[in-house]
Amino acid sequence: MRRRARSSGGSVSLLAVTAMAVILMFGLLMVYREGAIKVEVASGSQLQTDRAQREEVLLRELVARLPGVAAEAMRGGYDTEAAGAGAASTWDALFTEVIARATGSAFSPLTAEERLASRRGDVAEDDRLLSITDLNGVPGRVTPGIALEAARFHSLGLDGRVPPLLVSTEPAAEALMPVVGLAKRYGEGAVPPELLDPVHAWNQEYNRIEYPAIRFRYAEPDRDGRSRFVAKRNWWAFQVSYADPRGGPPRRKRYVLSLYEVPSQLPIEASRATQVGSHAGPGGTEQRWEPERVRLTGSVLADSLTVRGLNLTTGAQAAGLAGRRGVVLEEDVVIGGLSIGGEDADFDGLDSRYRLQVEYLRRLPVAQRAEWERHAGLPVGVAANHSRLSFRSLNPGPLFLRRQPPEERTRWDTYVRGANRCTLVVRVTRMLSAEVQEPSELEIRYEPGDGQSGQVLARLSRESVPSVGYAPWVAGATPFEPDGVSPYVVGGAILNPGRRGMGLHLGRVRAWVASLNVLNTAQIDGLHSMAVELAESTTGNRIRPPAFLNPNGPGDVPVPEDMCVVLREADDLRSFGRRGVSMVAPFRVYIGGDLNMRWLETVPPGSGLPAGERFYPPVALFAAEVRFGTNTYETSDESPDGEDPPVVEGQINNLSLNGATPWRPLDLTSGNALTRRDDVRADLKPLRVPAEVPFIHLMNWLVVVEELEGG
């Protein structure tokens, strides 16, 4: 019987199926692995995006909120006990708020797969991803840039990587709250590389330092492309820990948060709407600034700036135009060979900004481009369009002119209100009559500040029955005289009423104070500021408060019935020395002659100015209104006694915070209220060195944050 052998085909089929299954399984594993890698990459990318967004919001909020916290800390007198009780003026409160805003911002949520892969919850729920500490890891504190912390920076290997250290009178408060202002100075004798001038005992408040590498143009670049300005840099170091939600080590970054105290130093600065380039002509017309008469060097800064008729290619060579809120170019301007306007009406938009930046750099020598690109922004810019900086004017408006009683002031009031910082106070205590606001009694006081009690230097009276304690006010024996301005009459018509007030012979002041034998030599040498004020109005003293200081008054300009001040003998102010003199008065001030025409024999030592240069004592005049001359500076048949037209050199500022029309800096007014345009001469230029900063000045704050190199 024949048998047929069995075939092994079944075994072959099983192996084939098994092999195919293995191949498919490996294929599926590869697909799964690739998907897992993509999820992991997406998760990592989302984390990086999230961290970058958090960092940007965090730093932007720090920069925006620091000025308010610093001002509040100054108002509180840097009270460390209040800081321990959770005051809003502390670093801890500031960090808590900015972290909450950074973690509460609308970031893209992760998908379920991303949350599973990264083992994290929704972004907005996990505020533990951010923490801010000082450089030693203590939360809610910073490492301040003061001399007492030098050893700590050395131990961390940060020597040479941090800005110059300051000397603080509030060291206990430094790590708890932002300390700025008069409580911090540069150490005497310190000359680190970042400071361009030696620090002297007579001027420790500011120095020439490098302008930060930001695109907002305040300081003018030098020939090497670096911008330098007069300022004091307060700074604090801190570190931010960005936790890894996947369990890895946290990522730490160190930063330096800087608040620059910038004294007003540009040729034109204002905290209101300003128009440059033209005068207001008759009948609504306009007249351009004539290059032969107006020279402008440096930048122009205003709250909102309008440019019309400014010829920047000839006599007026402005280096930049800056607005806190906006700049309007009503026609093309050319700055540094760069034409701005026309197609660049939105010049601060991103596209136009980059195009103009490339064009601006292309015109520079190749050797200078790197430095200019790092340190020089566009010649026109708006502070509000830059997220990691904050530029704020501390101009309090008319309150700058009003002196407070010492017991009512906070440190903030002393810091921002110029009248509060004046050491010599001339107080009108009685008037001739309610109708004629001419002083009949004066009280002259010495107010040293810094918590010290003031003292009366003299009381003078012209009354037939003087008040108790008042000595006779002898004509010609003091720097103070009855004075005023005569009415301006043409053809029998009174075009401008006269005013009565007080004449101040500024050049006599120091010698007269010394003759009283009340103050010592050091106190007399420290007299660099003067305030004129009125005593509180009563029926007996016949004082009428000036309408200018009345919130419900007629506006920015004093009315004819208000008292005025007439400056006399102010051409030679060398008696005030290298710090010069500043005057603050909430009245109309008439400049009755030349002002500050004599220079010192030598420049201040170590000032940074070349030997042999003419150095005039720094002079600042803050008033409700300034008139040039006591009559008219237009000589004509109707006005044969006309005075010379004004020649203005230095800087022009405006205390007003608002106005119905834009302020025009060179629409100057004569004593008879005529506004002259075609004969005004001006050489407007910025301050160059700290020695040129007047004793009383307006203040700006510039806040920036940057990563600590090597940190």
DSSP for 235-254 reads EEEEEEEE--TTS-PPEEEE
DSSP state, residue 291? T
> For the segment 487-545, what is each residue's pLDDT rounded down to a tens digit?
665 555 555 667 889 999 999 999 999 999 999 999 999 999 999 999 998 888 999 88
Give the residue among 35, 55, 50, 52 at the shortest CA–CA distance from 116.
35
Is residue 329 within a helix (H) or strand (E), and if so which, with residue range? strand 316-329
Three-state DSSP at 160 gives: coil
- Alpha-carbon distance 502 to 546, whole Å? 14
Tokens of 371: 């430095």
Residue 645: its pLDDT value, please?
A: 72
Give the residue among 326, 321, 324 at the shortest CA–CA distance from 383.
324
Is residue 43 within a helix (H) or strand (E), and if so which, with residue range? helix 9-75
| Partners of residue 490 on adjacent β-strands | 493
- Alpha-carbon distance 672 to 632, whole Å? 6
- Please check the confidence at residue 134 and state whether its pLDDT lies above 80: yes
Length of the chain, please? Answer: 711
Confidence of residue 351 (pLDDT cuts 50, 70, 90): low
Three-state DSSP at 281 gives: coil
Tokens of 139: 């939360």
- Alpha-carbon distance 680 to 254, whole Å? 53
Tokens of 224: 């090497």
Residue in the structure block whose two tokens are 């010698």:
511
Residue 115: its pLDDT value, please?
A: 40
Residue in the structure block whose two tokens are 């540069």:
186
**Phi, psi torsion values for 56, nearest 5 degrees:** -65, -45
- Alpha-carbon distance 643 to 646, whole Å? 9
Whole-number Cα distances in Å, 316 to 267, 378, 469, 659: 12, 18, 56, 26
314 compared with 135, residue with greater pLDDT: 135
> For the segment 550-588, what is each residue's pLDDT rounded down to a tens digit?
554 445 567 777 899 999 999 999 999 999 999 999 999
- Alpha-carbon distance 418 to 409, whole Å? 12
Q: How far is CA 208 from the centre of its chain?
A: 15
- Please check the confidence at residue 696 and state whether its pLDDT lies above 60: yes
Q: How many CB atoms lie within 10 A of CB 195?
A: 17
Confidence of residue 635 (pLDDT cuts 50, 70, 90): very low
Tokens of 115: 């949350």
Residue 216: its pLDDT value, please?
A: 77
Give the residue among 617, 618, 598, 608 at the shortest CA–CA distance from 694.
618
Tokens of 528: 């660099």
What does pLDDT average to over the chain?
80
For helices 91-103 and 9-75, what crossing angle results, to 10°?
140
> Which pTM was predicted?
0.85
Pairing relation of β-strands 251-263 and 699-707?
Answer: antiparallel
Confidence of residue 277 (pLDDT cuts 50, 70, 90): confident
> For the segment 100-130, what is each residue's pLDDT rounded down to a tens digit?
888 774 344 444 444 444 433 333 334 455 7
Beta strands, E only, 447-479: 455-461, 471-472
CA angle centred on 196, ends 194 and 198, rounded to 5°: 110
| Partners of residue 623 on adjacent β-strands | 585
- Alpha-carbon distance 476 to 499, whole Å? 21
Report the pLDDT averaged over residues 611-622. Answer: 94
- Alpha-carbon distance 204 to 182, whole Å? 10
Give the residue among 293, 292, 328, 325 at the shortest CA–CA distance from 308.
328
Q: How far is CA 26 from the centre of its chain?
A: 68
Cβ atoms 228, 196 nearer than 8 A: yes
For helices 366-375 and 350-362, what crossing angle results, to 10°?
150
Report the pLDDT averaged over residues 57-63. Answer: 90
555 compared with 669, residue with greater pLDDT: 669
| Partners of residue 676 on adjacent β-strands | 668
Confidence of residue 591 (pLDDT cuts 50, 70, 90): very high
> For the segment 230-270, what is each residue's pLDDT rounded down to a tens digit?
999 999 999 998 766 666 677 889 999 999 999 999 999 99
| Partners of residue 381 on adjacent β-strands | 322
CA angle centred on 457, ends 451 and 462, rounded to 5°: 135
Residue 365: its pLDDT value, please?
A: 61
Tokens of 257: 């948060």
- Please check the confidence at residue 592 and state whether its pLDDT lies above 80: yes
Residue 107: its pLDDT value, please?
A: 40
> For the segment 20-50, what is each residue's pLDDT rounded down to a tens digit?
888 888 878 887 777 777 666 666 665 666 6
Residue 413: its pLDDT value, please?
A: 95
308 compared with 457, residue with greater pLDDT: 457
